[in-house]
Amino acid sequence: MPKPNAPIRRNTLGDISVLHVDVLARAVQHQGCDPAPLLAQFNLSPAILASTDARISIPRFMRLGHAAIEHSGNPNLGLVMGALSRPVDAGRAGLAGAAAATASDALATLIRFALLTSRNSRGQPSMTRAPDQARFYSIRPYNRFNFFVVDSVLATWVQFLRTVSGQQQVAEEVWIEYPSQGQEAAFEAWFGCPVHFGAPENRLQLNSQMADTRCQDAQAAVHQLLVEECSQDLKRRQAGWSLGERIKEKLAAQLAERPPELAAMAAEFGLTPWTLQRHLAAEGRGYRELLDDTRKDLAQDYLAETSLSFAEISWLLGFANPAAFHKAYRRWFGISPGQHRRVLKGATETYSSMGSP
């Protein structure tokens, strides 16, 4: 049991606002099913859902989504979520986007402040301009528990563009990382454009007209006010993050590739390697220690929250091979990954009987 005043460790894999849970519940209801038993099974009370600050872990949201798909019988429930989404479901960021000058500016605003409603260990979504393309990162490897997350995010972006622009044809192409599940026709009919599965990334190509299409609710003064408020919200959210915590956030998104060396990480923060080391030393930490801690936290959450094999977890954490991962795990926890998974799974199942992805 944690000490009464001990800080609660954030789930390293990420978390998401209950605003998104509300959209999922509406999608289930739209399919003619009662979402109440499902929400109760995951201990999501009306009080929690009424709190705009409440969040749940990404893996828990994935389990909830998979249970909702089984409950409703619709494998494409993520598309239903997108269709039913509204700008207000993204909180203040959604309202700020809706007041932007153009549809492209609206989506760029929404994505700029995505951290206000979700955080992902693979990194935050991004948008590039000319051409306008939006990218989203999901936990990997893919399985039946996280397909719907990608579906819902991309569909929500498209619905957001449709809402603010008043136009139906807003996307030129869609790319999805996970392999085809035999739903190409349904996806292309919904998105209204070609959809490519098994792609290198989750990406949305906007219709070229979106850059010049004025938002139906464009209001420069309101947009500026809401952007300023979102910026303050973002600063407050990150205010308590030490430099070490911000570095761990970046490391988590890059471990499956080659973890960045100290010099590369220092450059990301606009610092020299020596200055970065000095700041970390003031926090009583070192760069290699942060790398090790990041792997340790992710390893524990992968074991507790997913059914990924040890070989898959080893790869995701950037180890040379599973043997190196097993050795590190025993050093961290004094127990084998297999033994620890059984202990952690038991704790996880106290609040959900649905199992793990």
Q: What's the pLDDT tens digit per position in 126-170?
A: 999 989 999 998 877 787 888 999 999 999 999 999 999 999 999
> Same domain for 183 and 136?
yes
Please identify, among 183, 212, 235, the residue that sits at the C-terminal boundary of a domain. Answer: 235
**pTM for the predicted model, two decimal places:** 0.82
Would 354 be classed as within a structural domain? no
Please identify, among 235, 269, 287, the residue that sits at the C-terminal boundary of a domain. Answer: 235
> Same domain for 262 and 230?
no
Would 7 be classed as within a structural domain? no
How high is the pLDDT of residue 344? Answer: 75
Identify whether the C-beta of residue 146 lies closer than 8 Å to the C-beta of residue 66: no
State the CATH number of the domain containing residue 288.
1.10.10.60
Query: Cα–Cα distance between 20 and 200 in angstroms, integer?
Result: 26
**Reduced to 3 states, what is the DSSP secondary structure of residue 180?**
coil
Would 6 be classed as within a structural domain? no
Please identify, among 235, 269, 299, the residue that sits at the C-terminal boundary of a domain. Answer: 235
- Rounded alpha-carbon distances, angstroms, from residue 270 to 74, 230, 234, 325: 47, 24, 20, 32
State the CATH number of the domain containing residue 219.
3.90.1520
Would 119 be classed as within a structural domain? yes
> Same domain for 213 and 255?
no
Task: Return the percentage of the chain with pLDDT > 90, whole number.
Answer: 62
> Same domain for 138 and 206?
yes
2 upstream amide cis, omega within 30 of 0: no
Please give the tally of structural domains in the chain: 2
125 token code pair: 């979504």
Would 356 be classed as within a structural domain? no
Give pLDDT tens digits for 169-198: 999 999 999 999 999 999 999 999 999 999
> Same domain for 191 and 305?
no
> Same domain for 80 and 221?
yes
Query: Cα–Cα distance between 77 and 66 in angstroms, integer?
Result: 9
- β-strand partners of 14: 120
> Same domain for 178 and 308?
no
Domain range for 171 is 14-235
Would 88 be classed as within a structural domain? yes
